[in-house]
């Protein structure tokens, strides 16, 4: 297991309970959009990669035959099973697995989803190859993840801040990078939508080591006016806010 995966397993084991109730991770509008893009069918077999506490798997489950939801962190899956017990969904199965070595046969799934996770994958191209391998011909991949715009400063600054927020962070990719990576992996991109959310700075500092919180505040304080504008640093009701960028995409096996 590579260092980012080792770090992710430790960090998310510590934070697992947070993701059960996290508003960002159970956002009903974003989940509804993901389900709509997936166009799920009643006979489909689905795989949700890096499921966390299962929010995406649960959103997909009512529309398909069966969902297998994998995650690297057993503590996250323990929280997911608690949620499952309370919501009456019976067609979701949880397994511990690494996206870089998925324990499934070729062409096993009609749909693969992954939400708010690929920026943690130590080898994104290998992960995409694995997701493509387990998809059937014509199968669909739907991803919703952190991203950065096509701007060198914002790209560097946001990725730096997210390393301070979570040392298992690897990279948030630009839309152009996603297009290139998916195409070279053998996908045809059908939909790609960058979007952003203006969020409190505490979204980066909550439950973070005090030294890294200091680094985050120092990085923000060092921004000049143009850079603050680019990052949309502003005070909202007396609280500092900053922009976060995301991307939602759908692709099919070529």
CA 109 to chain centre: 20
Does the structure show a pLDDT above 60 at 13? no
Q: Could you tell me the pLDDT band of residue 28, with boundaries at 50, 70 and 90?
A: confident
Q: Rounded to two decimals, what is the model's pTM? A: 0.92
Q: Which residues neighbour 120 within 8 Å (Cβ) at sequence distance 6 or greater? A: 4, 8, 50, 166, 168, 169, 170
pLDDT in tens, 159-201: 999 999 999 999 999 999 999 999 999 999 999 999 999 999 9
In CATH, 3-150+167-198+246-253 is 3.40.50.150: yes
Q: In the predicted model, what is the mean pLDDT of the chain?
A: 93
Instruction: From 148, 155, 111, 150, select the one nearest 251 (Cα to Cα).
Output: 111
d(CA 8, CA 5): 5
For 25-56, b/e burial (b = at least 16 CB within 10 A) is: bbbeebbebbbebbebeeebbbbbbbbbbbbb
Are 232 and 242 in contact, with CB atoms under 8 Å apart? yes
């Amino acid at each position: 297991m590579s260092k980012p995966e080792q770090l992710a397993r430790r960090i998310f084991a510590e934070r697992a309970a947070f993701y059960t109730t996290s508003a960002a991770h159970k956002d009903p509008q974003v989940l509804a959009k993901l389900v709509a893009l997936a166009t799920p069918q009643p006979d489909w077999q689905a795989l949700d990669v890096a499921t966390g506490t299962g929010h995406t798997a649960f959103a997909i489950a009512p529309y398909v035959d069966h969902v297998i939801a994998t995650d690297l962190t057993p503590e996250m899956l323990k929280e997911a099973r608690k949620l499952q017990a309370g919501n009456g969904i019976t067609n979701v199965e949880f397994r511990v697995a690494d996206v870089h070595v998925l324990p499934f046969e070729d062409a096993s799934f009609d749909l693969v989803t992954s939400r708010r996770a690929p920026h943690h994958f130590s080898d994104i191209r290998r992960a995409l190859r694995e997701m493509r391998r387990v998809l059937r011909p014509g199968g669909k991949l739907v991803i919703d993840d952190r991203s950065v715009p096509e701007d060198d400063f914002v790209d560097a600054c946001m990725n730096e801040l997210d390393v301070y927020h979570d040392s298992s962070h690897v990279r948030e990719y630009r839309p152009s990078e996603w297009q290139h990576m998916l195409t070279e992996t053998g996908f045809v991109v059908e939909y790609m939508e960058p979007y952003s959310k203006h969020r409190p700075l505490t979204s980066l500092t909550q439950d973070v080591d005090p030294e890294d919180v200091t680094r985050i505040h120092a990085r923000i304080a060092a921004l000049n006016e143009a850079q603050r504008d680019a990052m949309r640093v502003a005070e909202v009701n007396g609280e500092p806010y900053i922009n976060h960028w995301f991307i939602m995409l759908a692709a099919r096996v070529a």
